[in-house]
């Protein structure tokens, strides 16, 4: 079914809660709807959105068409599941954990929808969407047909893909297939996961990992949006290591650090974490030791021959934690996030705060931060 609404208010369609409207809003619920649209007659440009969780509208009016793909079917099998692009991504994570299937548990509570996960290559706690994407189905606006896309052709990188570069505007994703595993594949050595698991009494040894006995046969679209959480255990008990336990632990970590988008407007992580040379990193270490003392250790992750430095650390070191500019604020609990603190922040408030952060870090560390959030 195709739904059309002219002069549509998008304020509830973007998690930053920017007050913005568009010339035309279209929502489709079936693949065939995309074939039936008169694309030439639509106001231009045409922009596809998911949950609106990675967007910053910089103006109060978008003169084109905003298209939401609300296709929400699910087709589970023994070691994969195919989901409609409009499926809430965290419903998928909740379902996989409830079935005891390994793969997306580290991506729990990331806002947004399935289609956007394949565009953005979302990631958290050592796992990225590309690690579990097995296939993508999309409508090709150039050839006017549906096509199956091999993930190996998507040129996935850190929060990017060809859907954001050379393919931008060509494909509309309608479904994504994810690989799942019955064999335990925990990723624990990132962002304090192992420490948090051990604090709740979980034995992280490989032999303590659980394997699913059987599947329920239902898919994510049949869960009714339920966010399942596992049982609570006292510290005196040994908790088996399951996808559900990891999911619950990550949800706990994220809720302490990140604002709930239904309560505070934001687009999640605002900046990408920079990846720099080892020589550049050593210069940053020297600066940090001069500021914090000779025993200070700079947080970082080794990425091949390069070093990833948390942008949040640099933002905090530059004194921006909790900083405000108009209605915008660097979030107190996680400096990587910029929030619409008052609910009435203007796009200019956010853009000015963004620029101030970028300029200050460039001057201090010689690094230019790049927004993860797409500016429209």
- Annotated catalytic residues are 159, 269, 372
Cα–Cα distance measured from residue 211 to residue 183, given in angstroms and rounded to the nearest whole number: 6
Query: Among 138, 140, 118, 137, which residue's Cα sits nearest to residue 129?
Result: 118
- Residue 132 near residue 81, CB atoms below 8 Å: no
Structure tokens at 138: 């999309």
Residue from 276, 264, 374 nearest 330 by CA:
264
**CB-CB neighbours of 56 under 10 Å:** 21
Instruction: For 148-184, give the DSSP string.
Output: EE-GGGS--BTTB-GGGTTTTTTEEEEEEEEE-BSS-
Collapsing DSSP to helix, strand or coil, 90 comes out as helix
Encoding tokens for residue 74? 């699910």
Q: Cβ distance 185 to 213 under 8 Å?
A: no
């Amino acid at each position: 079914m195709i739904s059309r609404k002219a002069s549509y208010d998008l304020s509830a369609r973007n998690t930053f809660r920017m007050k913005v409207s568009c010339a035309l809003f279209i929502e489709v619920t079936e693949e065939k709807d995309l074939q039936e649209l008169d694309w030439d007659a639509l106001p231009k440009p045409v922009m596809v959105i998911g949950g609106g969780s990675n967007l910053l509208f910089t103006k109060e009016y978008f003169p084109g068409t905003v298209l939401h793909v609300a296709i929400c079917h699910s087709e589970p099998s023994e070691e994969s599941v195919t989901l409609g692009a409009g499926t809430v991504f965290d419903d998928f994570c909740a379902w996989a954990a409830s079935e005891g299937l390994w793969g997306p548990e580290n991506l729990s509570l990331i806002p947004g929808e399935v289609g956007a996960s394949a565009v953005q290559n979302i990631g958290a706690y050592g796992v990225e969407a590309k690690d579990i994407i097995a296939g993508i189905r999309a409508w090709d606006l150039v050839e006017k047909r549906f096509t199956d896309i091999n993930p190996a052709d998507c040129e996935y990188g850190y929060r990017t893909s060809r859907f954001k570069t050379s393919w931008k505007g060509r494909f509309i994703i309608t479904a994504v297939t994810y690989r799942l595993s019955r064999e335990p594949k925990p990723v624990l050595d990132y962002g304090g996961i192992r420490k948090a698991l051990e604090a709740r009494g979980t034995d992280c040894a490989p032999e303590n990992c659980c394997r699913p006995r059987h599947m329920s046969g239902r898919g994510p679209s049949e869960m009714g949006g339920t966010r399942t959480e596992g049982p609570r255990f006292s510290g005196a008990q040994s908790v088996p290591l399951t996808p559900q336990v990891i999911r619950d632990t990550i949800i706990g970590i994220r809720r302490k650090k990140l604002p709930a988008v239904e309560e505070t407007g934001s687009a999640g992580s605002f900046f990408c974490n920079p990846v720099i040379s080892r020589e550049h990193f050593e210069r940053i270490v020297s600066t940090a030791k001069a500021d914090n003392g000779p025993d200070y250790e700079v947080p970082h992750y080794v990425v091949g021959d390069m070093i990833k430095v948390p942008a949040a650390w640099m933002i905090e070191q530059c004194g921006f934690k909790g900083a405000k500019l108009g209605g915008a604020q660097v979030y107190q609990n996680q400096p990587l996030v910029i929030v619409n603190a008052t609910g009435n922040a203007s796009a200019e408030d956010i853009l000015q705060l963004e620029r101030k952060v970028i300029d200050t870090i460039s001057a201090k560390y010689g690094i230019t931060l790049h927004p993860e959030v797409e500016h429209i």
